[in-house]
Amino acid sequence: MTFGSDDEPLTPAGRLFTQPLTHQIINCALGLSRPIEFDEARDVVYDSLMIKHPRFSSLLVTDDQGHEYWRKTELDINRHIFLHPDRVSDDHVDDDEAAINEFLADLTVSCPLSTDKPLWEIHLLSAHKCVVLRLHHALGDGISLMSLMLTLCKKLDDPSQTPTIQPLVSSRKKSVELGTFEKVLTWLKMVWFTLIYMFEFLMRSLWVKDEKTGIRGGEGVEMWPRKLATAKFSIDDMKTVKNAVTNATINDVLFGVISSGLSKYLDSRSPNSLQEGLQITGVALVNLRQSPGLQDIKELMKKNAGSGWGNKFGVMLLPVYYHKKCSDPLQYLKRAKMMIDQKKLSMEAFLSYQIGYFAMKYIGAKFASLLNYKVICNTSFTISNIVGPREEFTIAGIPVTYIRTTSSSLSHAITMHMVSYAGKADMQILVAKDLIPDPENLAKCFEDALLEMKEAAIQT
């Protein structure tokens, strides 16, 4: 195949998501107050910045050496929008959420995007008042794609403006300037934690595995049938819990909820069969952009932007521990905060990105993909958290009621993606249903964990 001067090579990070072992498609569901018509959706896409972005009007092509490129092509929007006028599931006649989750779960296994057109699709589930965006991960990461998706939308209270997301402001600001001794101590801690965590990361990519439990997957599990359930949280509840522990963050609360919820679920599945304190390791996706919030899409599209377009995230290994009983639910948050503080002090997330980048660029895509695959096989779950708009917005004048996202199945038996929107946070829990047949119960364990922490926080 002959390549022209206008063809643009995929970035090393983008190439990772085209490899068979780590192939990833993002599936984002937007709930609507009423169904959207095909012509309405087409007009919104046609007038948006989305189709002006070169990634969304380019084919993914491969040369004889297996190197991938983006090639500009003429875009036919009609080939990218699909109308589903009837219900997508006969098993959930009166339950839109269950029907949509079943539809999304089916998409996560062996449902690739066609490479004879740009790698995105929009599915209109009219009977369920829902829009599903399918976007190949090689197009960009969750921050980039969320920014681009919002160009399709308008603020509910000001239709002339597109919705924005304010950058997160960390609550962990130091009240005093560190002295020389404290700076040296902090630097030594950074070096120490980095060495420990990177050694652990290396071991996880080779042979160290979590012990076998009812929720751990492994090699080949990515091809198993999936089920999907939604855990729903109130941001106000999470803030109440956060404020009960000094300098805690929403991410600390989320991980405390996961730690407590997994213990509850495992105890309900196999009481008295697990050792107290058993480690269950998660892979957390960490945004590495200069600003932790979403940026203006025009800035992201600039090639030389410091936080520019693409896949810019690292990973951290975050362990939780099984506890059968805990008299104080806030202990889960306190343990999570202590562990995450140490992780953030290290360079683990940054170096994981740099190592992956180096491997992709100089050793090859297959090796880098295998390295990532082994880490996933040897751990138990994936977790990511994206901050969405605080204010409500519309598509084609139709109010959006929720934002939920998930991705292609991994060799993990549990993959969790949380997105916040207008005071709520919905976490999509994708599971291998042969290992976890009741994800709804798992979702309830997480919801109950937050409510227990809230009650404990109110009483403190």
Name the pTM for this structure. Answer: 0.91
431 with 442: CB under 8 angstroms? Answer: yes
Whether pLDDT at 31 is above 60: yes
Q: CB under 8 Å to 227, separation ≥6 — which residues? A: 101, 102, 105, 430, 431, 433, 436, 437, 439
Q: Is the pLDDT of residue 387 over 50?
A: yes
- What's the rounded Cα separation, in Å, for the pair 453 and 252? 12
Q: How confident is the model at residue 356 (pLDDT cuts 50, 70, 90)?
A: confident
CATH number given to 8-155 = 3.30.559.10
Question: Strand 313-321 and strand 398-407: pairing?
Answer: unpaired
Res. 171 pLDDT band, cuts 50 70 90 = very low
Query: What integer is the mean pLDDT of 300-322?
Result: 70
CATH of the domain spanning 180-387+406-459: 3.30.559.30
pLDDT over 80 (residue 449):
yes
- pLDDT tens per residue across span 411-421: 999 999 999 99
Quick one: pLDDT at residue 292?
A: 42
What is the pLDDT, as a whole number, of residue 310?
64
Q: Please, are residues 237 and 450 in contact by the beta-carbon 8 Å criterion?
A: yes
CB 431 within 8 A of CB 414: yes
pLDDT tens for residues 265-274?
A: 999 887 777 8
User: What does the pLDDT average to over 117-136?
Assistant: 94
Domains of the chain: which residue ranges? 8-155, 180-387+406-459
Shortest CA distance to 58 belongs to which of 148, 146, 135, 119? 119
Kindly tell me if the per-residue pLDDT of 366 is higher than 90: no
Rounded-to-integer distance, Cα 214 and Cα 216, Å: 6
Q: What is the mean pLDDT of residues 175-196?
A: 82
In this predicted structure, what is the pLDDT of residue 175?
47
> Of the given ranges (7-11, 39-43, 176-180, 390-394), which has the lowest mean pLDDT?
176-180
Express each pLDDT in 56-76 by its tens digit: 899 999 887 778 889 999 999
Interior angle at CA 404, CA 402 and CA 406, nearest 5:
175
Do 8-155 and 180-387+406-459 come out as alike in CATH topology? yes
State mean pLDDT over 299-313.
56
* pLDDT over 70 (residue 5): no
Q: Is 393 helix (H, G, I), strand (E, B) or coil?
A: strand
Find how far residue 248's CA is from the centre of its chain: 21
- C-alpha 18: how far from its chain's center? 17
Q: List the strands of the sheet with 25-32, edge to edge.
A: 81-84, 120-125, 130-136, 25-32, 398-407, 393-395, 154-155
Q: What residues pair up with 285 in beta bridges, in sequence order?
A: 315
C-alpha dihedral over 211, 337, 306, 192, to 10 degrees?
A: -70
